[in-house]
Amino acid sequence: MSDPVTLHDIYLARSRIAGQAARTPLILSQSLSARFDAEIYLKLETLQPSGAFKLRGALNKIASLAPEQLERGVTTASTGNHGRAVAWASKRLGARAIICVSELVPANKIAAIEALGAEARVIGRSQDDAFVEARRLVAEEGMALIEPFDDPLIAAGQGTIGLELMEDVPELDRVLIGLSGGGLLGGIGRAVKGINPKVHVTGVSMLEGAAMIESLAAGKPVEVEEEASLADSLGGGIGLDNRCTFELVREVMDDHHQVSEAAIARAMLHFFEHEKMLVEGAAAVGLAAIEEHGIDVRGEKVALIISGNGVDAETLMRAKTLIDYPAR
């Protein structure tokens, strides 16, 4: 079986999205580097025009569609950030977009989708429920389905982050990546290991509703009940008919940690108070894993993927109530 995503695919994606998605900064965190006796770098996907890494994959996929497909429009199911990315890319490329979301998606993320000119359609209690409506739109209205993760073009787009990491820190030792459907981790993992197989790829999920980890443990894609979390962008299933990311993640991920809501909250508040950044829970799980599991990164060059900024004041206040946040 050939690789669903190759290093060459990722280079092609970079060419396709150039000038639209941002080449985001990689900055050294002085506070985290001092705390963990390592070089801790932050990859700021929060600075994408849509506010999250998802724009890379969405642009790569939509830009590959034929003109007649663009005219019929595109649709997807999303926990928020992918929907914003599809809305942004569709507006840029002149396509109508309907974004199907579940009731668990925060109101601020729905508003952000609508602000970009797309229709947000709220369906059911899970991403799987929302996908039923998206697939109906494909079958009955001829819209093109833009998968959130399980598509080689989507994963290749996200993999362009890995190319940038290796260019900016050629001696990178480890990258910690939020793990949900696997497009982000799979794409980045393929890129960094394609350049240097010794780079250690660590995936991070929340404690409840971690579909990819449950699936890997079972040896096949399985259904997992979705749970509310500060890391809501990591929610959703991987699809029982997963064609790409299950095998990709199994191949490129070296280890994995699950983190508590309190650990996610502490990490979010660190970024707010010490890095002066507003980041969503899914963007903070790398730091949460290092803190909660005592990952020994001493002497290493480490990248944390700060994946998105889709957080509102209410969620940040809820994070603060979860913990007794110590002054540092």
Active-site residues: which are they? 54, 307
- Is residue 290 within 8 Å of residue 259, measured between CB atoms? no
For residues 106 and 80, what is the distance between their CA atoms, to the nearest angstrom? 8
Structural tokens at position 56: 């890379």
The Cα 119–Cα 122 span in angstroms is 10
52: DSSP letter? B
Query: CA-CA distances (angstroms) from residue 210 to 153, 169, 180, 217?
Result: 23, 30, 7, 11
Query: DSSP string covering 118-177, please?
Result: PEEEE-SSSHHHHHHHHHHHHHHH-PEE--SS-SHHHHHHHHHHHHHHHHH-TT--EEEE
- Give the C-alpha separation, 111 to 80, whole Å: 10
